Amino acid sequence: MESWAAERTGVVTLPSGRLVRGRGLRDGPVADGDRPDFGLYLTSRLHQESWPSRWIAWPDFRLPRAPLDAMAALWETYDRSLTERVEVACGGGTGRTGTALAVLARYDGVPAEQAVAWVRAVYRRNAVETPWQRRFVREAPLGRV
């Protein structure tokens, strides 16, 4: 499958050039030609799609219920973004998705103290909604889990 178009809504270009799409699940289903190769879904209840994906139990406005599992899933998403169309999505596409995108940016070399501002500049201005989400981004371990 071809890569995301960098100018598409929700597509973030990481500093290395990798492309990742952030999306709100409440925005509705994606069209057939807009499907990712892999998706990471951050919701309080199980979320599955017809394409390869991982689900992380992550309540709205909170942190993942299993942080180490979340970090492993974020690493997988980052790895896949090198050669696949990947997306990260939560209910509204802002808090949890923004938090995950900021962690991916850290993996890609954005310093911890700049990652939230970076994702707000390139994705959504109100991404990463809560103080504990901001702390999660700052304190995310960069080593593989």
pLDDT at 142 over 90: no
pLDDT at 72 over 90: yes
pLDDT score of 116: 98
Can you tell me the distance from the alpha carbon of 96 to that of 129, in angstroms, rounded to the nearest whole number? Answer: 8
Chain centroid to CA 78: 9
pLDDT at 47 over 80: yes
pLDDT score of 32: 82
End-to-end Cα, the chain, rounded Å: 28
pLDDT at 14 over 70: yes
- Residue keyed to tokens 């090198």: 82
For the segment 41-59, the average pLDDT, to the nearest whole number, is 96
SS3 category, 54: strand
Can you tell me the distance from the alpha carbon of 38 to that of 47, in angstroms, rounded to the nearest whole number? Answer: 13
List pLDDT tens digits, range 53-63: 999 999 999 99
SS3 category, 32: helix
Q: Where does the pLDDT of residue 1 fall: very low under 50, low under 70, confident under 90, or very high at 90 and above?
A: low
Radius of gyration of the chain (CA): 13
